Amino acid sequence: MVNRTFWSRIGIGILLSVASAILLTISFPPYGFWPFIWAGFVPMLVAQFRVMPRRVSSLASAITIGGWLGGYLTPIFAGSGIYMTWLPLIIGVIIFFADSGVRTFHERTSYRWFVWYGAFTWVGIEMIRSFIPIMGTWAFVANTLHGQPWFIQPVSIFGIFGLGLLIMFVNYGLGLGTLYLFDKRWKLDPNVRPLASRPVRKWGLGLLAVLIAWISISLVLFRTPATATVRVAALHYDAGTPFWHSVDKFAELTRQAAQQGAQIIVWPEMAIEGDPQVTNTAEFRQLATETNAYLALGYFVNVTDTSWRNETTLLAPDGRFLGVYGKDHPLTFAGESSPTRGTYPVYDTPLGRIGTIICYDLDFTNTTRKVTRNGAQLILVPSHDWPEIATKHYPHLVFRAIENRVAMVKSDCSGNNSVVIDPYGRNIAAAITPGGDKTGQVVVADVPLGTGGALAVRLGDWTGWIALVGLVFFILFNPLTKAVSKCKQNISL
């Protein structure tokens, strides 16, 4: 009978954990059921802290997070044959062992740290992931809310990590309340004390007040001031392979954009083989003069058989090349580099102050912030994505725009996701074509210039650092409470 109960609890716990994995997966693009992110972890918490037998309770978080990452990453890297395909399983195994003492810790401390622990641990790990070159801000819980500009404006103060903390505080606050209700109905472990109502009530009221305050701040910040606008265009075309043989097509799209009044036109990442300041320079200058537009030209230059430069230059209508930007987060394992990497030029033009970043740079908080600190009001983003990330990549740009209060224009040479984002994270023009676009189109919009005045520009990822400190605190605090508890037991004996 005991054995049957043990396996029944594991079975129910697995179902609850899978439910959480599904809720988290569909809250992210391309599904977009964003409300589920606010409670997606709750079934997992019930499984981990009440349903699963204590000695295997970490199986709940392992299944949920491993399953969610599988649903999120597998469509991106399926068939790639690289380690990312196996990453969800690897992470699931790590979490099983890393979380093995978490339930005991919360029982030992009477769940007084439950909500703090959950929020700081999750976002602290997100902060660590943001330092890893291949990860950046991918799969951050805050990314699920990219389509809700009315709600996410405080990101300009608290950053993406601040929104992540809010989401996780709510999840663990709801989880605490659910555990309290569970204890009133069931008692699977006789030696576990039911949760008291007072801390549950205090957390509920406190989180409700924080949500009201957050929404109020967001609505106030969403009152966009009147600023100058500029007509921009992103060239959107699936150029095939090799895509840099499509310069004539991009030139044709450039003329189409100019006919629609575009004053700034963004070419994709690596659209040109060779530095346009050296190769076919006269033709590019003629195109800029003919269209009377600023052209952000993405290009690459082979340095050796195994290394190459990935850069963007801005060509003015009068034929002047204003400067060069080298990709700040290159794929160094693929030989990608640039001698101008680490410089963040901003070009002062009659249309506004213009900066550039390249593709993967948009997945990190630091690069856009550095360009903004140099005075950028509008940031151009040549990009080259693969089809599986068409709906997942551009949401990062929404948060970079709000964090820095700058407008962003992304052009893609695989025809997947070219967008124009205003300084408040609104997607004002876009072409999202996961299957590619073989005919080509121009994404044209009048976008307001940014101010670069967000508090997050000056303070950086301050909420992420707070979460990381919280993570370190709990790593040290857990064994300390264990030692104190053991000491008290010895004294009582």
Q: What is the pLDDT of residues 170-196, one digit of tens each?
A: 999 999 999 999 999 998 888 888 999
Q: What does the alpha-carbon distance between residue 451 and residue 404 come to, in Å, rounded to a whole number?
A: 8
**Same domain (yes/no): 36, 121:** yes
Tokens 């409670």 belong to residue: 39
Asked whether residue 194 is domain-assigned, the answer is: yes
Residues 36 and 151 in one domain: yes
- CB contact burial 133-158 (16+ within 10 A = b; e otherwise): eebbbbbbbbbbbbeebebbbbbbbb
The token pair at 49 is 């802290």
| Co-location of 43 and 147 in the same domain | yes
pLDDT at 291 over 90: yes
Find tokens 């002062």 and name the residue: 348
* 233 φ/ψ angles, rounded to the nearest 5 degrees: -145, 140
- Looking at the domain assignment, is residue 457 inside a domain? no
Whether residue 161 sits in one domain with residue 13: yes
Same domain, 214 and 235: no
- If one compares 241 and 84, the residue with the highest pLDDT of the two is 241
Would you state the pLDDT for residue 78?
A: 62
Same domain, 414 and 321: yes
| DSSP bridge partners of 233 | 265, 444
> Is 455 a member of any domain?
no
Count of domains forming the chain: 2
Q: What is the DSSP string of 305-362?
A: SS-EEEEEEEE-TTS-EEEEEE-SS--GGGTEE-TTTT---EEEETTEEEEE--GGGG
pLDDT at 445: 97
Distance between CA atoms of 289 and 274, rounded to whole angstroms?
21
State the Cα–Cα distance between residues 214 and 229, nearest whole angstrom. 29
Looking at the fold, whether 295 and 165 belong to one and the same domain comes out as no
pLDDT at 79 over 80: no
Whether residues 233 and 178 fall in one domain: no
The residues, ordered by sequence, that sit 6+ positions from 60 with a Cβ below 8 Å of its Cβ are 13, 14, 16, 17, 44, 45, 47, 48, 51, 52
Residue 460 covered by a domain:
no
pLDDT of residue 89: 85
Question: Does some domain include residue 456?
Answer: no
DSSP single-letter state for residue 261: T
If one compares 477 and 316, the residue with the highest pLDDT of the two is 316
Give 138's Cβ-side CA count (13 Å radius). Answer: 17
CATH number of the domain that residue 313 is part of: 3.60.110.10
User: pTM for this structure?
Assistant: 0.94
Q: Which two tokens stand for residue 368?
A: 């856009």
Band (pLDDT 50/70/90 cuts) for residue 84 is low
Q: Which domain holds residue 395?
A: 229-450
Task: Report the chain's mean pLDDT, rounded to a whole number.
Answer: 92
| pLDDT tens digits, 107-149 | 999 999 999 999 999 999 999 999 988 889 999 999 999 999 9
pLDDT at 2: 62
pLDDT at residue 492 is higher than 70 = no
Is the domain of 62 the same as that of 85? Answer: yes
Q: What angle do CA 475, 476, 479 make, to 5 degrees?
A: 95
| Assigned domain for 459 exists | no
Q: Is residue 332 part of a domain?
A: yes
Range from 81-90, 216-225, 293-302 that averages highest in pLDDT: 293-302
**Would you say residue 80 has pLDDT above 60?**
no
What is the token pair recorded at 481? 């409470």
Whether the CA torsion 122, 127, 130, 134 is positive or negative: it is negative
Binning pLDDT at 50, 70 and 90, where does residue 464 land?
very high
In a domain, 151, yes or no: yes
Residues 372, 258: one domain?
yes
Residue 85: per-residue pLDDT: 65
Distance of CA 272 to the CA centre of its chain: 29
In the predicted structure, residue 26 carries a pLDDT above the cut 90: yes
pLDDT cut 90: percent of the chain above it:
76
Do both 233 and 219 map to the same domain?
A: no
Considering only residues 2 and 186, tell me which one the structure prediction assigns the higher pLDDT: 186
Asked whether residue 437 falls in the same domain as residue 470, the answer is: no
Q: pLDDT tens-digit profile of 327-383?
A: 999 877 666 778 888 899 999 999 999 999 999 999 999 999 999 999 999 999 999
